[in-house]
Amino acid sequence: MQKTMRAALLHQAGAADELAVEETGVPDRVNAEFLVKVVAAGVNPIDAKTRAGRGVFGAIHQFPAVLGHDFSGVVVQSPFAAHPIKPGDEVFGMVMVPRYSGSYAEYVSVPSLSVVRKPSTLSHIEAAGAPLAALTAWGLVVEVAKAHEGQRMLIHAGSGGVGHFAVQFASYFGAHVIATASGANVPWLRSLGAAEVIDYATTRFEDVVGEVDVVIDLIGNVHDDTGSRSLSVLRRGGLIVNAPTGSWPTFADEVAAAGVRGTDFKVAPDGNTLAVIARLLEAGNVRVHVDQIFALEQIAEAHRAMESGHTRGKIVLKVAEG
Q: Is the pLDDT of residue 52 over 90?
A: yes
Q: Average of pLDDT values for 155-172?
A: 98
CB neighbours of residue 84 within 10 Å: 7
Q: State residue 155's pLDDT score.
A: 98
In b/e form, how buried is each residue of 149-184, taking b as 16+ CB within 10 angstroms? eebbbbbbbbbbbbbbbbbbbbbbbebbbbbbbbee
Segment 212-271, tens digit of pLDDT: 999 999 999 998 999 999 999 999 999 999 999 889 999 999 999 999 999 999 999 999
Backbone CA torsion sign across 59, 65, 70, 75: negative
**Exposed/middle/buried for 56, CB within 10 Å: 0-12, 13-18, 19+?**
middle
Q: At what angle do helices 271-283 and 131-138 cross, to 10 degrees?
A: 100
The answer, as to whether pTM is greater than 0.75, is: yes
Residue-wise burial string across 242-258, b where 16 or more C-beta atoms lie within 10 A, e elsewhere: bbbbebbeebeebbeeb
- Write down the pLDDT at residue 93: 98
Mean pLDDT of the region 21-44: 98
- pLDDT at residue 310 tops 90: no
Other Cβ atoms less than 10 A from the Cβ of 5: the count is 19
Strands in 234-242's sheet, in edge-to-edge order, are 196-199, 176-181, 152-155, 212-217, 234-242, 261-264
Q: CATH 3.40.50.720: which residues of the chain?
A: 133-264
Flag the least confident range among 34-43, 209-218, 304-313.
Answer: 304-313
Q: Is the pLDDT of residue 166 over 90?
A: yes
**C-alpha distances in angstroms, 13 versus 56, 97, 102, 284, 307?**
11, 15, 16, 40, 15
Which residue intervals of 160-244 are DSSP H helices?
Answer: 161-172, 186-191, 205-208, 226-230
* Residue 236 one-letter amino acid: R
Q: Per-residue pLDDT averaged across 59-72, rounded?
A: 97
Strand, coil or helix: 173 = coil
End-to-end C-alpha distance for the chain, whole angstroms: 19
CB 50 within 8 A of CB 99: no
What is the DSSP code (8-state) at residue 105? B
Question: Which pLDDT belongs to residue 125?
Answer: 98
Q: What is the mean pLDDT of residues 1-6?
A: 94
At the topology level, CATH places domain 4-130+288-318 in Quinone Oxidoreductase; Chain A, domain 1 (3.90.180)
pLDDT at position 67 is 98
Q: What are phi and psi of 190, to 5 degrees?
A: -65, -35
Q: Work out the pLDDT band at 303, boundaries 50, 70, 90.
A: very high
* Band (322; pLDDT cuts 50, 70, 90): confident
Provide the mean pLDDT of the chain: 97
Between 322 and 191, residue with greater pLDDT: 191
Q: Are the C-beta atoms of residues 255 and 279 closer than 8 Å to each other?
A: no
CATH code, 133-264: 3.40.50.720
- Give the whole-angstrom CA distance, residue 108 versus residue 124: 15
Residue intervals in the chain for CATH 3.90.180.10: 4-130+288-318
Mean pLDDT of 181-196: 96
The pLDDT score that the predictor gives to residue 61 is: 96
In this predicted structure, the answer to whether residue 1 has a pLDDT above a threshold of 90 is no
For residue 27, pLDDT over 90 is answered with yes
Q: Mark residue 146 as left, alpha or beta (left: phi above 0; alpha: psi -120 to 50; beta: remaining).
A: left
| CB atoms near residue 141 (< 10 Å) | 28
Q: pLDDT by residue (tens digit) across 67-85?
A: 999 999 999 999 999 999 9
Among candidates 19, 5, 9, which has minimal Cα distance to 64? 9
φ, ψ for residue 141 (rounded to 5)? -85, -40
Q: How confident is the model at residue 309 (pLDDT cuts 50, 70, 90)?
A: confident
